[in-house]
Amino acid sequence: MRKGLCFRLRKILLCVVGLYVAIPFLIKLCPGIQAKLIFLNFVRVPYFIDLKKPQDQGLNHTCNYYLQPEEDVTLGVWHTVPSVWWKNAQGKDQMWYEDALASSHPIILYLHGNAGTRGGDHRVELYKVLSSLGYHVVTFDYRGWGDSVGTPSERGMTYDALHVFDWIKARSGDNPVYIWGHSLGTGVATNLVRRLCERETPPDALILESPFTNIREEAKSHPFSVIYRYFPGFDWFFLDPITSSGIQFANDENVKHISCSLLILHAEDDPVVPFQLGRKLYNIAAPSRSFRDFKVQFIPFHSDLGYRHKYIYKSPELPRILREFLGKSEPGRQH
């Protein structure tokens, strides 16, 4: 009996080892797998929510739109007005919400990270916080996420963000428009803002929450890579397929070409995007000549607070941080 047990254990061990060795070769041969693991757009959490009804998530002053940046691409968009307009917003149509963008309230274009949808729990909670502070919040699902139609790619996600930004600017008059990216959305945000700066239409500020330097460094630091980090040829097996799929999200390069105020928020206990990557990005951006006339600020959140990767919205200090950063127009770098 003991001999049979040992045989079964040896068979299981061989299968585990075989699978461990096979996965790197599978990813190398099929780089599309790595792209799917980065985007995780097929992971729709929370399940069973109707994105056409943001009120079901407690957003009773939010309108659902659909925009079409390209043929065969449709984007699901939520627009939440400042909470002081909660009563006025009841029963209003899309035209009322669009006209509201020209009011005297600033606008935040929020670019979410991978997995889930614009209706993700932590995202909804952030919209509520920003709305309570007097901001319009416009957010959307990139092509291939949620109920948006299309195939995900870095180029496509960036173009989607550009289209929504231009849509906002066409309706917002002289109101400030800020761009807020979280996690993978920071890669979309810096791609977008670099492009806006190059065409000389920069946003009024850029906020990066839990950012990385570039997708290769983030993939190497991600907790999922721990079991393979010291695997022979790790870069060749796991990181090169990302590059060959056209995915870079080069925040570290983009910040050298951005000319607007920059605020970086990062929790020290972030288990997904290591804190040191956010700090490293700040250290690259702060001395950059492109920011010489603009504020660059890094705000760490102590690990004792437990904000981890996606709970900075819980910080009671966040309203003050945003008020002080966005409320001052004079240039000058802050450390």
In a domain, 253, yes or no: yes
Q: What is the pLDDT of residues 164-222, one digit of tens each?
A: 999 999 999 999 999 999 999 999 999 999 999 999 999 999 999 999 999 999 988 87
Note whether 133 and 172 are same-domain residues.
Answer: yes
Q: What's the pLDDT at 52?
A: 96
Question: Helix, strand or coil for residue 157?
Answer: helix
Residue 1 has pLDDT above 70, yes or no: no
288 is catalytic: no
In a domain, 184, yes or no: yes
In a domain, 271, yes or no: yes
Q: What's the pLDDT at 11?
A: 78
- Looking at the chain, the whole-number percentage of residues with pLDDT higher than 90 is 73
Residue 332 has pLDDT above 70, yes or no: no
Q: What's the pLDDT at 13?
A: 80
Note whether 193 and 118 are same-domain residues.
Answer: yes
Note whether 248 and 272 are same-domain residues.
Answer: yes
Q: What's the pLDDT at 157?
A: 98
166 is catalytic: no
Q: Which structure tokens are listed for 87?
A: 């009563």
Q: What's the pLDDT at 24?
A: 63
Cα–Cα distance for residue pair 33/173, rounded to 1 Å:
43
Note whether 159 and 297 are same-domain residues.
Answer: yes
Residue 3 has pLDDT above 70, yes or no: no
The answer to whether 137 and 63 have CB atoms below 8 angstroms apart is no
Q: What's the pLDDT at 83?
A: 96
Q: What's the pLDDT at 9?
A: 77
Give the CATH number, domain containing residue 283: 3.40.50.1820
Cα–Cα distance for residue pair 152/174, rounded to 1 Å:
33
270 is catalytic: yes
Q: What is the pLDDT of residues 7-50, one digit of tens each?
A: 777 778 888 777 766 666 666 667 777 778 889 998 887 788 99
Secondary structure letter of residue 148 according to DSSP = -
Q: What's the pLDDT at 334?
A: 42
State pTM to two decimals. 0.92
Q: What is the pLDDT of residues 113-137, one digit of tens each?
A: 999 999 999 999 999 999 999 999 9
In this prediction, residue 76 has a pLDDT band, given cuts at 50, 70 and 90, of: very high
Note whether 121 and 258 are same-domain residues.
Answer: yes
Q: What's the pLDDT at 246?
A: 84
- 141, 160, 252, 270: the active-site residue: 270
The answer to whether 204 and 176 have CB atoms below 8 angstroms apart is yes
Place of tokens 């966040």: 318
In a domain, 182, yes or no: yes
Residue range(s) defining the domain that contains residue 99: 45-224+244-326
Note whether 14 and 111 are same-domain residues.
Answer: no
Note whether 27 and 84 are same-domain residues.
Answer: no
What is the dihedral angle through the alpha carbons of 323, 326, 331, 332, rounded to the nearest 10 degrees? 50
Cα–Cα distance for residue pair 18/12, rounded to 1 Å:
10
Residue 58 has pLDDT above 70, yes or no: yes
- 183, 210, 245, 261: the active-site residue: 183
Number of domains in the chain: 2
Note whether 129 and 270 are same-domain residues.
Answer: yes
In this prediction, residue 98 has a pLDDT band, given cuts at 50, 70 and 90, of: very high
In a domain, 112, yes or no: yes
Note whether 142 and 19 are same-domain residues.
Answer: no
Q: What is the pLDDT of residues 133-154, one digit of tens each?
A: 999 999 999 999 999 999 999 9
Residue 299 has pLDDT above 80, yes or no: yes
Q: Which of 1-5, 204-208, 300-304 has the least mean pLDDT? A: 1-5
